[in-house]
Structure 1
Amino acid sequence: MSNRDEHIVEAAGKCRVVIRNGRVVEVGTPQIQDCPLARRFACPVEEMTPEAIQRNIEARIRSFGMCTPEREVLAGPDFVPFGASELLSSAVRRGDLDAAVIASDGAGTLVAENPALIQGIGGRMSGLVKTSPISAVIARIEENGGVVLDPEAAVIDQAGGVALARTLGHRRIAVTTAVAAEAAAIRERFPETVIVGVHTTGLSREDAALMAGAADLLTACASRYIREEAAKAALLQAGTSIPVFAMTRAGKAIILGKIGETDQPFIVHSARLPVPGSQSPEPLC
């Protein structure tokens, strides 16, 4: 790694964390006080404090090399039933999608058509704000069929990633984004793309409305406004504590396809959305 090695993620509670040369050097203030998902992490975050979040990030660095040359990029089992990476890897595995445009620490935006690569990167990744290129990580991604948009700078440019996927011959493409304006721009430029809105905690009311209008699938995280927008137009909700909403028929098909390939029991019934769970992040923001 070089002297410019720096990675910025938004971890549990949308807490800004800076990692340089494999070490956590800065931890911000979480925006929420409790998260049921964070309490189920491999290294649980029982209390939303900078110290607990730093321990979680350091555990990720040790266990799978996050933001280091040792970064593992493949994974098999689901981490959660309806996470973005779980839904997209399932859809690619079934052949409903050709590829997914995602972002990885150490590589930036990339195109992946290997379900294990989609899950290995996305299932372990918090909200990635900025990253630096790590040659070993990029090589590992390429060895497993991934194509990195900009290996020299590891830029995060999801619209550019969709354009790259199209030049590679893919047509049934999904993309993740945490930026409402980017989601809207992708919808306008590539209207057939499946857009997955992720890491939505803290979105303004205006950005939540923009994201809901552009996305096919929308993770609610701890966003009050995403839940309000989903109440207006969502076709299907997966999960209750931290729900994922299908905003279009394309998104609905991906969730139903994921349900169809598992033996896990589910209940399906009509309801006014969103349906709250017994536990939710607190406070919604």
Structure 2
Amino acid sequence: MVEHLAEMAKALVRIRDGKPEVLTSPLIRFCPLRRDLYGIDEESRETVEEVIRSHIEDLGMYSSQRVLELAEDPVSFGASEILMDGMAEGLVDAAVLVCDGAGTVVITRPDVLQAIGAHMTGLIKTEPIAEIQDGLEQKGCILIDRHATIDQIRGFVTAIDAGFERVAVTLAGSMSSDARDLRAIGARSGRRPFILAVHTTGISSDEAAALAETCDIIWSCASRAVREVVGERAVLQIGVSIPVFAMTQEGKRLVLNRALHFKGALVIHRSSLPHLHANRQPRPLI
């Protein structure tokens, strides 16, 4: 019996042998991104279960049938999309992501990176699935172990030990202490990581401030603290509903590279930050 725990719309979900069970009701009632991706106008246990089921059926997530290569880019400025384009452009050599069935993984191919990250949401715990692990290794990925351990610091160390120079690491917003540790390891090794904070809904103002000091790019999700604390310190914002904030020149370069590769039309203008569209925010902000 293989079991995974994840958060979606701040609902806790257990996936056991490919069957999702929503353990708690979603705290987020409305998300503009999930409306655009999945057609959801109001979140419920049923909508969360439906989306997880679609991920299992369409992408084989949480199962031995997992899709490990993907070219589509469903989110305009998602973390995997930004890193995929950064890797294709040579700005990033390797990315440290979390994958169901494999845990922390070092990825070096843009299409594999996109397959892992495009629809990943708040993975808290996962258990080994041999087919996923073997498939990732066959595609040049490095696993930190075969136990599906989630440890992004070990992932970064693994990547620099393997000789990669420009390594990106995604972290959940609650892992601000790990961001500080990554900065310290990067300083000692001479390999500055790109740190991307995702899944920030519900973090505290102190955690948001710590992320602002250490991260290159931060996603606001449905976080009030990120909008209020991080937004005013950012050097670049993309999006007005669920803003993505670049905090450093390195983060700014990655975001603008995604803009260069983005196929749709964009408007870029000078503004004080954060710049928010009041009627298009997730509800509630927590």
Residue 263 of structure 1: how far off its partner (Å): 4.3
Q: Secondary structure of 2:32's partner?
A: coil
1:10 equivalent to 2:19? Answer: no
> TM-score scaled to structure 2, two decimals?
0.94
Residue 102 of structure 1: how far off its partner (Å): 0.4
| Counterpart selection for 1:182 from 173, 178, 181 | 178
Residue 95 of structure 1: how far off its partner (Å): 0.3
Q: Deviations over 1:169-218 (max 9, x none)?
A: 10100000002221122122224100000000000111111112111000
Contact 1:75 1:120 in 2 (8 A): yes
Contact 2:209 2:230 in 1 (8 A): no
| Counterpart selection for 1:112 from 107, 112, 115 | 107
- Residue-pair matches, total: 279
Contact 1:46 1:52 in 2 (8 A): no
Contact 2:69 2:114 in 1 (8 A): yes
Q: Could you tell me which residue of structure 1 aligns to residue 77 of structure 2?
A: 82
**Structure 2: which amino acid aligns with 1:160?**
R
Contact 1:76 1:119 in 2 (8 A): yes
Q: Could you tell me which residue of structure 2 aligns to residue 132 of structure 1?
A: 127
Q: Could you tell me which residue of structure 2 aligns to residue 202 of structure 1?
A: 202
Residue 46 of structure 1: how far off its partner (Å): 2.8
1:236 equivalent to 2:210? Answer: no
| Counterpart selection for 2:87 from 92, 102, 119 | 92
Q: CA–CA distance in 2 between the matches of 1:269 and 1:260?
A: 16
Q: Could you tell me which residue of structure 2 aligns to residue 215 of structure 1?
A: 215
RMSD after superposition: 1.2
Residue 45 of structure 1: how far off its partner (Å): 3.0
Q: CA–CA distance in 1 between the matches of 2:76 and 2:244?
A: 10
> TM-score scaled to structure 1, two decimals?
0.95
**Structure 2: which amino acid aligns with 1:37?**
L
Q: Could you tell me which residue of structure 1 aligns to residue 224 of structure 2?
A: 224
Q: CA–CA distance in 2 between the matches of 1:62 and 1:263?
A: 28
Q: Could you tell me which residue of structure 2 aligns to residue 157 of structure 1?
A: 151
Q: CA–CA distance in 1 between the matches of 2:125 and 2:263?
A: 38
Q: CA–CA distance in 2 between the matches of 1:142 and 1:283?
A: 41
Contact 2:68 2:116 in 1 (8 A): yes
1:32 equivalent to 2:28? Answer: yes
Q: Could you tell me which residue of structure 2 aligns to residue 68 of structure 1?
A: 63
The farther-off stretch of 19-28 and 96-105 is 19-28
Distance verdict in 2 for CA 1:35–1:262, change over 3 Å: closer
Q: Secondary structure of 1:190's partner?
A: helix
Contact 1:187 1:214 in 2 (8 A): yes
Q: Deviations over 1:40-65 (max 9, x none)?
A: 22x43332111211111112111111
The farther-off stretch of 182-191 and 266-275 is 182-191
Contact 2:170 2:196 in 1 (8 A): yes
Q: CA–CA distance in 2 between the matches of 1:123 and 1:88?
A: 11
Q: Secondary structure of 1:37's partner?
A: helix
Contact 2:208 2:230 in 1 (8 A): no
Distance verdict in 2 for CA 1:91–1:170, change over 3 Å: same
Q: Could you tell me which residue of structure 2 aligns to residue 268 of structure 1?
A: 268
**Structure 2: which amino acid aligns with 1:163?**
V
- Gaps (5+ residues) in structure 1? none
Q: CA–CA distance in 2 between the matches of 1:265 and 1:108?
A: 36
Contact 1:230 1:273 in 2 (8 A): no
Q: Secondary structure of 1:54's partner?
A: helix
Q: Secondary structure of 2:196's partner?
A: strand
